[in-house]
């Protein structure tokens, strides 16, 4: 594989572009928002310049990396990519619309991957004429730092597609787990309800945000408390994941906390909006 495509130039898409560039790929990032594309390019440029200043890169290496980055608004720019990874909002209808477009735009034989953290790969693949080439590749944020990628096969995903995705994960210097195509997969099936329960504890006055996070960090030896992590992930993303699990399982244990829904409705989305359970 030589060309890696990304749909969505947000924080996750930008971080995965960083990984792909650093792994030697030519990278095409597509987003309908020109300002978002500009921010992604500026973020990567600033980060790589910092690496040069710190002695981690040479100037010529940085120039080589950025020369392989293409940013485009048209999905047609992804036509010759060997793999395209979708990194848009965690909304089933939006993702399925993207995959319909990718199916018509990207060359035959290419792998179409989704970074969804909860939505059925089989359902996403069903809107394409090549479900055998669709796979879930769930990166953790920040992708350039976190070691894990969940690989999720849909009902029709071939072993060849899975092996190609594994090779990409290893080229990125990451490790993988194979998860079943079940709502939330492995990580979020366990972790999203924990975040939701932490929000319920805050909602019911069982503790402050600080005390809840301190209890979990010192009591379970995790680097971030659940509310801190929710702010980093984006409360809208957390809510979307929990709502998918609630809808799919029909189990009241996945009922989203009213406080989480209220914060998202108010635009308190965490670090990216400047306010969530904490103020930034």
Catalytically annotated residues: 117, 138, 150, 188
Which residue stretches of the chain are H helix? 11-22, 34-53, 59-67, 92-105, 121-125, 159-171, 187-203, 209-220, 226-233, 235-249, 258-266
Q: Are 9 and 40 in contact (CB under 8 A)?
A: yes
Nearest to 4 by CA among 80, 66, 76, 75: 80
In angstroms, the CA 116 to CA 138 distance is 6
Q: Rg for the chain (alpha carbons), in Å?
A: 19
Which residue stretches of 106-186 are H helix? 121-125, 159-171
Angle at 267 between CA 264 and CA 273, to 5 degrees: 115
Run of H or E residues at 7? strand 3-7
Q: Which residues does 60 contact at the CB level (< 8 Å), separation at least 6? A: none
Residues linked to residue 279 through DSSP beta bridges, in sequence order:
275
């Amino acid at each position: 594989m030589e060309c890696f495509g990304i749909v969505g130039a947000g924080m996750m898409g930008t971080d995965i572009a960083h990984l792909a560039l650093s792994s030697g790929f030519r990278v095409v990032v597509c987003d309908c928002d020109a300002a978002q594309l500009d921010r992604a390019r500026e973020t990567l440029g600033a980060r790589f310049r910092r690496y040069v200043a710190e002695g981690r890169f040479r100037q010529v290496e940085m120039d080589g990396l950025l020369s392989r980055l293409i940013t485009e608004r048209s999905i047609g720019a992804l036509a010759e990519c060997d793999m395209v990874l979708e990194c848009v909002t965690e909304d089933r209808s939006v993702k399925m619309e993207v995959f319909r477009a990718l199916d018509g735009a990207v060359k035959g034989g290419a792998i179409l991957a989704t970074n969804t953290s909860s939505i059925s790969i089989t359902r996403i693949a069903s809107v394409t004429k090549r479900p055998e080439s669709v796979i879930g590749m769930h990166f953790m944020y920040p992708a350039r730092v976190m070691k894990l990628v969940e690989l999720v096969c849909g009902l029709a995903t071939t072993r060849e597609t899975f092996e190609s995705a594994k090779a990409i994960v290893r080229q990125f210097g990451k490790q993988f787990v194979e998860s079943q195509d079940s709502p939330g997969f492995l990580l979020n099936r366990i972790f999203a309800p924990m975040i939701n329960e932490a929000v319920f504890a805050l909602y019911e006055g069982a503790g402050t945000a600080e005390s809840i996070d301190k209890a979990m960090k010192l009591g379970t030896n995790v680097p971030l408390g659940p509310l801190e992590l929710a702010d980093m992930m984006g409360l809208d993303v957390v809510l979307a994941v929990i709502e998918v699990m609630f809808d799919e399982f029909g189990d009241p244990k996945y009922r989203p906390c009213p406080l989480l829904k209220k914060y998202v409705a108010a635009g308190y989305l965490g670090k990216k909006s400047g306010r969530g359970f904490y103020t930034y």
